[in-house]
């Protein structure tokens, strides 16, 4: 049928409060689509692994897509369905965060426990970035990497170190 793909700045219920998510939905998404013509919404997103977070997203989507079927699942399940459809296999995501799971018959049947930066997320961009930054702060990075960081950093070293320790800065570190 008629499918439409659109791009917004993104919504992650772990990183954004409801007002920020509403802004993305109503100031960005609603301008790109005709919500009244949408029959169903299937949202697959980072940060939707816990029911409370998925429920927040579903509630906010229902404000825009009134009286429509709205399902909210994890980004891992969305990637698994896209790759494996109804067959089975192991799926990995490594972006700002990381996750892995097992897909069977179109469902995510097992998922690796995921801890956010800085406690976990091994293999993620945040984890790899934190290893690079640790070496940078200790003076152990190769000159080529040090030059890149020095050329892009906008903060004094002490302020950068404080930013590096903030668990909400995983995207910056990645």
pLDDT at 98 (0 to 100)? 76
pTM over 0.85: no
Of all residues in the chain, the percent with pLDDT exceeding 70 is 87
What dihedral do alpha carbons 131, 134, 139, 143 form, nearest 10°? 40
Report the residue count for the chain: 174
Instruction: State yes or no: pLDDT of 87 exceeds 60.
Output: yes
Average of per-residue pLDDT across 62-86: 92
Cross-strand partners of 69: 40
């Amino acid at each position: 049928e008629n499918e439409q793909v659109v791009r917004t700045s993104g919504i992650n219920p772990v990183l954004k409060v409801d007002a920020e998510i509403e802004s993305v939905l109503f100031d960005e998404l609603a301008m790109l689509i005709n919500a009244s013509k949408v029959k169903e919404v299937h949202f697959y997103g980072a940060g939707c692994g816990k029911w409370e977070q998925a429920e927040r997203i579903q509630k906010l989507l229902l404000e825009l897509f009134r009286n429509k079927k709205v399902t909210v699942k994890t980004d891992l399940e969305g990637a698994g369905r896209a790759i494996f459809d109804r067959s089975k296999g192991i799926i990995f995501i490594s972006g700002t965060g990381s996750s892995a799971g097992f897909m069977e018959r179109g469902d995510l049947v097992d998922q690796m426990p995921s801890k956010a930066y800085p406690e976990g997320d091994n293999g993620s961009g945040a984890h790899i970035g934190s290893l690079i930054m640790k070496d940078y702060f200790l003076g152990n990075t190769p000159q080529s990497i040090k030059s890149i960081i020095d050329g892009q950093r906008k903060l004094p070293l002490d302020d950068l170190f404080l930013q590096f320790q903030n668990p909400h800065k995983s995207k910056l570190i990645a």
